[in-house]
Chain A
């Protein structure tokens, strides 16, 4: 079955065997770094519930530019009840083809299909990118938050992952003159005490950002914050406002000279870069 949507140059159809490699490549490209390698094969091909009639692809001029995967799952509703549901798994659109309504069409295509109706599912659920809820998932297919009572516990063992990210950041900073100029005016030795995680000492100057143990002995400014607050600042639409709120609530404690704190506040962008706070 194929269906033409608003933009006739995009064609939507159910996955065919010959599309698999292109879909794999697209998913790998869009979700790069996530379970590298044979992620797609494991998640879909080796999945006991995989059904190719629940995968839809968008193509333009013969090339796959978008895909959406659904998986039938039996979900518990209560101690006595279970029901058939559908997990909206990975929806991916090639970066060059975004903002064309492809995501919405991919969501709607399957909902109207016979294959979808035949499954007899009561509801569909997903773990979406929070930034896509209001622009896409809620208006297109009426997604609402589930009554979730799950909590997450995290123990940071070391800062090796952050160090790798800083290497990439420093390479980027060294080639950008605007960044370089901003960095040279910073020159700060900061210590972060994030929840129960090991202390994070950072030296920030024109050379870039470095995890440096020597900073602990000679600190300009110390931040104390718990992981949940750091996460909430990262997820907030207005990060600066959330940062101020955390400070006023006493969830973020800063010790150091006032002039240094003001300088850091003016250069909040660097912390977005360091902690990879989502935009």
Chain B
């Protein structure tokens, strides 16, 4: 077992061993399942994005184990100084484990000759922030992630799955008209909403409400980057008949991506 010098009475740091993938994937999911925007880990994907990455070796994947030798945290460190992934089991002492992993990452980076160590973490993760502050890390902005909707129909259906109960408050035949829709996208989408179920139609014969907006505005509303009420006030969303605005606002308050995005460095490719 490749034990690393650092450790405490409770935890030890070692390097990667075959078979660790199962626990590593479990720790990763436990850490980030409430977020959106990261690639769902399979053993094949994890091996490719971490273990087989050109600047990573088995000796630069550090695993913290507890007294029962169960992995409780890990860090995948590249010779470039990038900590491609760092995850810690929430049920454990996150600060202590993260500190051990980051110290191992710093030592490895110094030996490999890189000039800095970088990692990504969710903004809300106060435990990681506290450790990083103690170890002299500076917080800065990661590269932005940009999104383009390919299929609004599928996206509506997907978002509706998450909001079935709440959608019972909206029973409408909705026609969505996309201004300046690109060629690969339908310019009209019909939504038949009954008892929390949403059915997509090519065309709604007699819509109870018609919404007209452009592609960017609809994308922003569904990704919760804009408020539907302000968009309506600014004339970016038009609703016919206008007294149906409450239904439309309710619909957009339900049909949007509620989880924040977290992008691990290893997903950048």
Contacts and interface: CB of A to CB of B under 8 A. Distances in A.
B110 to A, nearest CB: 6
Given A130-B144, A151-B139, A75 B39 contact: yes
A78 B141 CA distance: 23
A10 B116 CA distance: 42
B124 interface: yes
Given A75-B38, A123-B149, A142 B219 contact: yes
Nearest to B256: A147
A146 B138 contact: no
B154 interface: yes
A74 B41 CA distance: 9
Interface in B224-265: 224-225, 257-263
B44 interface: yes
A211 to B, nearest CB: 12
B106 A155 contact: yes
A137 interface: yes
B117 interface: yes
Contacts of A145: 144-147, 225
17 contacts: A38-B54, A80-B161, A82-B40, A122-B150, A122-B158, A123-B151, A127-B146, A128-B146, A137-B148, A147-B257, A150-B122, A150-B261, A152-B140, A155-B132, A155-B136, A158-B115, A196-B136
A76 B139 contact: no
Given A122-B158, A150-B120, A157 B33 contact: no
A47 interface: yes
Given A77-B257, A228-B141, 8 more contacts: A74-B40, A122-B154, A151-B121, A152-B142, A153-B119, A153-B137, A196-B136, A197-B138
Interface string A48-73: 11000000000000000000000101
Interface string A191-202: 000111100000
Interface stretch (B10-18, B45-53, B169-177, B196-204): B45-53
Contact of B158 (A83, A126, A154, A161): A83
Contact of B115 (A111, A112, A150, A157): A157
B162 interface: yes
Given A148-B263, A150-B122, A125 B138 contact: no
Nearest to B122: A149
A76 B149 CA distance: 15
Interface in A111-165: 111-112, 117, 120-128, 130, 133, 137-138, 141-162
A141 to B, nearest CB: 5
Given A74-B39, A81-B162, A149-B122, A123 B155 contact: yes
A79 B40 contact: no
B123 interface: yes
A74 B262 CA distance: 14
B155 to A, nearest CB: 5
A29 to B, nearest CB: 18
A190 B81 CA distance: 27
Interface residues of B, number: 79
A87 interface: yes
A106 interface: no
B146 A76 contact: no
Contacts of B54: 35, 37-39, 42
B109 interface: yes
Contacts of A232: 141
Contacts of B257: 77-78, 147
Given A37-B54, A75-B38, A149-B124, A144 B118 contact: no
Interface in B90-136: 106, 109-110, 113-124, 128-129, 132, 135-136
Contact of B147 (A124, A130, A152, A194): A124
B261 to A, nearest CB: 5
A252 interface: no
A26 to B, nearest CB: 17
A77 B136 contact: no
B259 A42 contact: no
A155 B260 contact: no
B128 to A, nearest CB: 8
Contacts of A81: 158, 161-162
Counting chain B CB atoms within 10 Å of each CB, the highest count among A46, A79, A195 belongs to A79
Given A122-B149, A197-B138, A76 B37 contact: yes
B34 interface: yes
B165 interface: no
A37 B52 CA distance: 14
B65 interface: no
Given A142-B219, A151-B141, A42 B119 contact: no
A227 interface: yes
B113 A160 contact: yes
A150 B142 contact: yes
